[in-house]
Every structure is written in structure tokens, then in C-alpha cells.
Amino acid sequence: MKKYLATRFMHMLITIFLVITITFFMMYLLPGNPLGELVEKLPEDVQANYMAKHGLDKPVYTQYFIYLKKLVFHGDLGESFVNPGRSVVSILKAGVPVSSRIGFQGLIFGIPIGLLLGILAAYKRGKVMDYFTMFLSLLCVSIPSFVLATVLQYFFAVKMQLFPVTGWGSFIFTVLPSIAFGVRSIGVHARYMRTSWLDVMNQDYVLAAESIGFSRTQLTFKIILRNAMLPIVTIIVPELALIFTGTFVLETIFSIPGIGSYFISSVTGRDYPMIIGQTIFIAVMYIFAMFLVDLLYMAIDPRIRLTDSK
Amino acid sequence: MSKTIDNQVDVYLEDDFKFDKNVSDDLETISRESLTYWQDAFRRLKKNKAAIASCIILILMIVMTIIGPYISGYSYTEVDPMARNQTPSAEHWFGTDSLGRDLFARTWIAGRVSMAIGVIGALVNITVGLIYGGVAGYIGDGADKLMMRIVEVIGSVPKMLVIILISMILKPTLTSLILALTLTGWIGAARMVRSQVLQLKNFDFVHASIALGSSPWRIIKKHMFPNVMSTLIIITTLTVPGLIFAEAFLSFIGLGIQSPNTSWGAMCAESQQMILFYPYQLLVPTILISITMLCFNLLGDGLRDALDPKLRK
Amino acid sequence: MRKKVLEVQDLKVSFHTYSGEVQAVRGVSFDLFEEETIAIVGESGSGKSVTAKSLMKLIHDPGEIKPSSKVFINDANILEYNTKKLNEFRGTIVSMIFQDALASLNPTKRVGYQVAQSLKLHTDLSNTEINTRVLEMMNQVNIPAPERRIRQYPHEFSGGMRQRVMIAMALINNPKILIADEPTTALDVTVQAQILKLIKKMQVQNKMSVIMITHDLGVVAGMAERVLVMYGGMIVESGTTRDIFYNPKHPYTWALLNSVPKLNSDKSEELYSIKGSPPDLLSPPAGCPFAPRCEHRMGICNRLMPPKYSSEDQHTVSCWLMNDKAPKVDLFKRIEVGYNG
């Protein structure tokens, strides 16, 4: 088992390395002045100064190694081009808690509702309730988050004025974006849980347990629930990582200062260090989350744990 | 000799205790005619009302995207500064946008782009996935391991990220957009195809075929292909909504389709900024995207149920 | 006279499916006595498994045990028990073991934990006492190195071992009745013999009654004192094992016995198989369920359900051939009508 984990860990590191490298070179292969419009209007010698300051006068490969060195040994992702003086890391530090908040709140709202709906659908299989809940789940998954966001914004903020239209601050600012983010999770988890629950419910070991005297409540909570949650766990974890890509558009719509809106503005403003830095951050989060899923699955499903040690 | 329990008969008929010489000839025949896999699947699909409804709606949409721009009498590029931001009326059925362009025509032109991207993108994903996964599964061993390693690496990166970055690098044409969207999308299809092929390779009916002397091509054609096909059909249908969403997402950030061309996502982006003043402009593209995604999902689900061989009756 | 421990009266079970009501069990009645082993034999779809599950009321939606059915254990109709009573009686008075031991054990819980469950549910024993009892049980079912084994998971055991675990799990509370639903079907022949021997040993030791559900006549011969032959949801013949094997009176029983290939048969003889397939239980025939496939079918067989005739020594047959008016038939002789020769 340890060998497997070590291999996976190595894979993770290699992938991260590749991501950093590829992203870096992708940005530098783009046409146009790397410093963007900000600097184009400046006289040539000032430009040269700027370039030297950011190390842009050196060949690409050297820049790459310098970048790597700074990243690995100092945790330094460079400085923003568009907002000079602000390090990428500091911008990330400011934005991450904001995006995370929306994401977490959305998941805390969406996942339990989704799971419960899924279990309900499983028990009412084939009946109207089943079709209804599954249709609802499909709806949740099919309506794009930004569509939902704009609809929510229009009805609850603009028309009914129950919530602020845009901006960030106290809890009330987080409500609409969280809901817009979390609704999709309801659908995803309801569908998965229904399948998983039905699957476990009909297993022989549930019947066998019943035959030695388990009551229905005991069966539900001690056996079915635990076994049905297994596959669910493996989708919850990546969802945590995908918070960061999922909030991009929501942050634009609600004018929320998370890393998503920074990312978008850095994309449109060609702020390369920001783009690279954020990409690396998000990718690393995701890759790490996938690794975590493997670990988790090993911890909770004995079948996997043991077959690998042979 | 016998003592009866449960004796209920008092009246016997004449033939009761004569041997029934009518030996049924159809004892060994199957009681119902058997249908081929596809016929059976189609029959089951027809029963799924939601899937059929979705299919009809989608066909209607496609028809509208083809003829829609011509019905209203306005061109989608025709700018009319006098008729800006009008609410829906008899003149302009969906109203006009900030440049005075007829929204009805624009909506259906946009639909062409959104649908095209969805469908073409899905087909590209499937084709690449099919070839890659099929080869990996069929060859197996070292080549398979290497190919899967590559897939692993590509798959470890969040898709949205790649899409955004690639869109940044390439010019925002339709082709490059599709390229960006499909660069990571084929992985799912490849994985599925590969695992199906691996499974099928080991099935007894393949061994039986080989034992009977079939060539590899025949095996692929007759046995593997039909089984993989059903998975592919399902994947294709279910990938489309994701692509439509991704394109809309990109347009929202400004990386998607550029003016004067438009897509539903781009229309959403434009109108979102004016939500406080002209909310109606947002209504149509929003609803259309949602309905399209919903229909593809319903259809895909229906197909999945219909094509599952274990549910055959 | 041995005491009766189980009495089934007119058990009827149906499943309400999309296509209609499938009558899986259509009126089954039998008795079970102290310390005896009976076998219920039949092909797939005959209703034997459903009968077994009904004895512990383990039938759920869309299955339905018809209200007229009665299952008496210790003079009480368990089909009328409320949930609390049911849970009390399961695992203590009656236990069941299943065909697929791997599927019947929770893959995510250790074996020791699972074997102990019945004790945890029904007794007040302390953890140490439970642990001792579990180890004792593991020894009784001949699982070597039990202290190590109880910490392992089901998939770490071989097929035969798993079946032993199931037996331990079922018998740890000393039930009076054990229902074994095809316990050896999924096992190798040699392992089969071991498991059957084990069941026999436990039966004698615990003074249990055993109901053995199987389609394998060899198992019947080795284990059961009495046999019930089921077909199309009904018992068509029942009697002592000896009687059934040497003096079958129902054409189906005879055909079943004859289908087993014999080692000393003439090589030029074709293997006998019963033509046709089991009846459609969605719309069961009005007459005898075996009639369409019976070589000795008479007019009345298609028309009416045969009553239960009994001959000497507890041998009952549901067949019109037993009626006084029927022609005498020697089942062991070949008759030209319809034989597949």
C-alpha cells in the first residue's frame, strides 16, 4: 500500500511540475508585449528599465529557471504586472478566502439537500416522487450557474430588494452567490446518491443483516448509509477543489473580489504573472484534491486497501 | 389406492382421463419474437416520454436556428439606432438590443453557434476518444500504460482552466474555440471506450469467435463496435450540455465568440450588464440555454436506460 | 411423535411488477418437525427461494405475502408479528444462510464484527463475553486461526471459508430452525461436501431443524429425511427421501430424477431433458402447472388443478394420475407418447 501511495505522490509532483512548465511557456509564447498596454505607451528607455526589472530581457529559459527557483524556494509567484508592487501571492491571499467562502457555503447548502433528495428518490423508486426529484435534480444540473445567478439577482436583489445586487461585505452579500453556486451540487449529489443508495439497498448483505434481526432503522443508518456514502465521498472532494473554477463567473456578476474575478481581469488585462500564478494555484489544489480522494478511498473501503498490498 | 385431500371435483368431463395426444410443437419455441438489440432499445426509448419530448424540442430548436433568422424580416447585423433597446413588440418579436438589432434574428443565429459548438465539439471529443481509447484498449500492455499515463496527466488539470488559457492564446474563431473546448474533453470518452474494449476483449463470446476462426477485423466490427457504439451515443448526448455551458462561460468572460457573430452565451453576457434596465433581453438566451441543456440531459438519460442491455425484456 | 416446530398453511406470495402480478408461490403448505432436515427441491423460478424468505417475512415491496397465508412457529403466526417481535425472532429462533456468501457479508466490516452482530442485537452480553463466544463459534465451524481471522474482511476469505463465516453468524444464537438457501451451489464439489458435513454437525449439536433449499438432488440424498418437490409455485410431491427417490409418483419428480446423468448408463443413450420451459407466473395456467411439459398429460390436467392425494407413509402427490379414474401408468416404463427418444 505504501508503494502505491508513493507512486501516486510522485505522479502528483510530476503533474504539478508539468503544469507549471507548460503554463509558463504558454504565456511567454503569446504574441504581443508581455507587459501589456500599460507599458506600451512609455518611452523606450523606461520600457527597457521595466523589462530589466521584471527580468524580461533575459532569454525565456533563464526566466523559467528563475521563476522556478523563486517559486520552490521562496514561495514567490512574482509580482503583478497590472498592479505593480503587489505580489501575486498577496493577491491570492486576499482572494482565496472570498472565493472559498462562496464555495463552501454553496456546498454546505447544496450537498445535504442533494443527498437527502437522492435518498428520498431511492425509497420512492418508480413512483411520482422519484420522477419528480430526479427531474428537479436534472434541472439543477442543466441550468448554468451564471444563468441562475442573473435570475436570482434580478428577482431577489433588483426587484424584491431583499439582497444587495453586487458587492461584498457581511453575510447578506454572500447569500445569492452561494445559492447560485450550490444549486448545481443539489442535482449532482441527488443523482449520485439515488443510484448509490438503490445499489446498496438491494444488496444481499442487507437482507442477510435483516435476517438476523436488524430493524429497518438500524439497517438504514448502520449499513446502508455507510456503504452508500463511499462513492459519494469521491465526488465531494474534487468538488471542493473545483470551487475555484466554479466561482469565476459568479464573482463577475456579483462583483465579488475573489480570485475568480482577479483571474478574469488578469486574463483580459494580460497580467501574466497573475495568470500563471493563479493557474498554478488552482491546478495544484485540484491535483492535490484528486490525490486526497485516492487516500480517502483507501482509508474507507477495505477492499481497495487490501488488494493493493498483495 | 389413493386418499384425497382437497377433493373439489364432482363432475368429470368425457375427455378428462384420456391422454392428451396433442403434443405441443411449440414447446421449444420462444414465446415472443425476439427483436434485435437496436429495435429493442428504440422501443424502450419510445416509452420514455421525457426523452421523446426532449428530442422533439431539440429538433424544433434546430429547425428554428436554420430558418429563424429569415422569418423576422430583419438581418441580425442590421443596426438601427432609432430602435434601440425596445421591448418585445409586433415589429420585433423579441425586442431589440442596445444597437437596435432585431433580437429574434440574433437569437436564432446565436443558436446556430451554440448548438454547432455543442454538437461538433461532442463529435470531436467522441472521435478522438474512440480512436485513442480503442487503440489503447485493444493493444493493451505497454502502449496502453503509456497512453493512460498521458491521459492521467491531462485529466489532472481542471478543465475550465485549460479552456480559458487556450482561448486566450488562440484567436477567437469558431475553430479555435472548438479546439480549446475539446482539448480536455476527449479524455472521458477515451477512458470509457478503453475500459469497454478491455472488458469485451475478455468476454467469452470474443473467445468463441476467435475459436471459430474469425479475423480480428470481423471481431471488431461485429462484436466490439455495437457494444461500444451504445456507450458512445450516450456520452455524445451527455457531453453537449457541458460544451454549450463552457462556450457560454467563455463568452461571459469575453473570450468566446466575438461580434458581430454571437452565441447564446454572448447574448447572456451582453444583456446581463443591462439587467437593471432591460431585463427582457436576458430572458430569451437564458431560457434557451437552459432548455437545450436540459433536453440533451434528458435525452442522454433516456438513451442510457434504453441502451442498457441488462434491462432487456 | 416428534414435536412440530414449523407449520406453513397456504402460503401465497406475489410480486407486483410493471407487467403485472407474478404469482411466485401459489399455495404451499408443509410442516417441519424437531431435529429433522427437509429439502425443498425445484428448478429456478419454482418459488423455493421465495418460500424460504417468506418463512422469516423477508419479502418486501413489490413482493406481497397474501393475507391468507400463515406461518406458525411455536404456535404463533409470525406473519402477523409486528416489527419488534419480528426482529426479536429473527436470528434467535430462526436463522437463514444464503447462496452467495460474498454478497451476503458486508464488505466494509470485519468478519468478527459481523459474526458478533446477532449477539449484540439480542443479548446483553459484555464485549468480552461476545468476543469469547465469537471465537468459540469460529472454532466450531472449523475456521483455523480465528483470532487473526476475525479481524479480516470478507474478501480475504475463500468461498468455503466465507460460507462457514455465514454459518457462524447465523448459528451463534442457537436458533431452533435453520433455513439454508442453496448454501453450496456456488462452491466446488469438495468444499460442498465439507459445508454440508458442517451443517449436519451443527444440527445434531444444537438440536436444530434444517430446511435445505436446493436444486441439487445429490445434496438432497445426503442431507434430507424428507423432500418437498416444487414446481410452478406449488408443491407437487412430498415424502421421505427414500420414497421420492425410489418411488416417485409425480411425472415431474420422475423427470427430474431421470435428468441426472448416471455414471453407468449406456453410452448410446441420449441424455434425458425435459422439453419446454417453466410456466409463466404472470398468467399461470388454470390446471396443473406441469401439464404442458408432461408426457402423461390428460384432458383434466389442462383444465383443473389436481388435488393433493396421499398414499402410505406421508407421501403426497398433486397429480391427476392418482385419481381412481385415471389410467394406471408405470412412470419407469417408456411410453411412445411424447417421449424425446
Do B294 and B238 touch, CB atoms closer than 8 A?
no
Torsional sign, CA C288, C292, C294, C298: positive
Q: Report which DSSP code applies to A258.
A: S
Interface test with B, best of A134, A142, A199, A291 (most B CBs within 10 A): A142
pLDDT for res B1: 38
Q: Which of A282-286, B11-15, B24-28, C240-244 has the lowest mean pLDDT?
A: B24-28
- Is pLDDT above 90 for C235? yes
- Is pLDDT above 70 for C1? no
What share of chain C has pLDDT > 70, as a percent? 94
Q: How far is CA B203 from the centre of its chain?
A: 27
**CB of B253 less than 8 A from some CB of A:** yes
Q: At what angle do helices A88-123 and A272-300 cross, to 10 degrees?
A: 40
Q: How far is A272 from chain B (nearest CA, A)?
A: 11
| Domains of chain A with bracketed CATH | 96-259 (1.10.3720.10)
pLDDT for res A208: 93
Q: Which residues of A touch C118 (CB under 8 A)?
A: 212-213
Size of interface A-B (CB pairs under 8 A): 100
What share of chain A has pLDDT > 70, as a percent? 87
A partners (3+ CB pairs within 8 A) are B, C
Inter-chain residue contact A212 with C117, CB threshold 8 Å: yes
Q: Residue range C107-136: average pLDDT?
A: 91
Tell me the C-alpha distance between A195 and C317, whole Å.
46
Inter-chain residue contact C103 with A205, CB threshold 8 Å: yes
What 3-state class would DSSP assign to B101? coil
Nearest CA in chain B to A267: B168
**pLDDT, mean over chain A:** 82
Inter-chain residue contact C307 with B8, CB threshold 8 Å: yes
Residue B3 banded pLDDT, cuts 50, 70, 90: very low
pLDDT in tens, A56-73: 666 777 777 777 887 777
Q: How far is CA C87 from the centre of its chain?
A: 22
Angle at B21 between CA B17 and CA B23, to 5 degrees: 130
pLDDT in tens, B158-214: 887 888 877 777 777 778 788 888 888 888 888 888 888 887 777 766 677 777 776
Inter-chain residue contact B9 with C307, CB threshold 8 Å: yes
Amino acid letter, C130: I
- Is pLDDT above 70 for B24? no
What share of chain C has pLDDT > 90, as a percent? 50
C partners (3+ CB pairs within 8 A) are A, B
Q: Please indicate whether residue B280 or residue A130 has the higher confidence score (pLDDT).
A: A130
pLDDT in tens, A258-273: 888 888 778 777 777 7
Q: How far is B6 from chain C (nearest CA, A)?
A: 5
pLDDT for res A190: 94
pLDDT in tens, B133-151: 888 887 777 888 888 888 8
Inter-chain residue contact A205 with C170, CB threshold 8 Å: no
User: Within 13 A of C53's CA, how many CA atoms are on the CB side?
Assistant: 20
DSSP letters spanning B11-72:
---TTTTSB-----GGGSS-SSPPPPHHHHHHHHHHH-HHHHHHHHHHHHHHHHHHHHHHHS
- Is pLDDT above 90 for B95? no
The whole-model pTM stands at: 0.82
What share of chain B has pLDDT > 70, as a percent? 83
- How many CB atoms within 10 Å of residue A57? 13
pLDDT for res A57: 66
Q: Residue range B265-283: average pLDDT?
A: 80
Residue C212 banded pLDDT, cuts 50, 70, 90: very high
Inter-chain residue contact A283 with B161, CB threshold 8 Å: yes
Could you tell me the three cell numbers for C340? 424425446
- Is pLDDT above 60 for C98? yes
- Is pLDDT above 80 for A130? yes
Cα–Cα nearest to A200, from A178, A233, A230, A166: A230
ipTM over 0.90: no
Q: How far is B312 from chain C (nearest CA, A)?
A: 13
Q: Please indicate whether residue C291 or residue A40 has the higher confidence score (pLDDT).
A: C291
Bridge partners, C317 (sequence order)? C237, C309
Residue B309 banded pLDDT, cuts 50, 70, 90: low
Q: Residue range A230-244: average pLDDT?
A: 84
Greatest C-alpha distance within chain A: 86
- CA distance from start to end of chain A: 8
Inter-chain residue contact C307 with B6, CB threshold 8 Å: yes
Could you tell me the three cell numbers for B171? 484567436
Size of interface B-C (CB pairs under 8 A): 76
Could you tell me the three cell numbers for A212? 438476523
Smallest Cβ–Cβ distance between B156 and the set A30, A141, A287 belongs to: A287
Q: Residue range C134-144: average pLDDT?
A: 92
Cα–Cα nearest to A169, from A71, A93, A255: A255
**CB of A243 less than 8 A from some CB of B:** no
pLDDT for res C205: 92
Inter-chain residue contact B272 with A283, CB threshold 8 Å: no
Highest mean pLDDT among A276-280, B83-87, B214-218: A276-280
Bridge partners, C238 (sequence order)? C228, C316
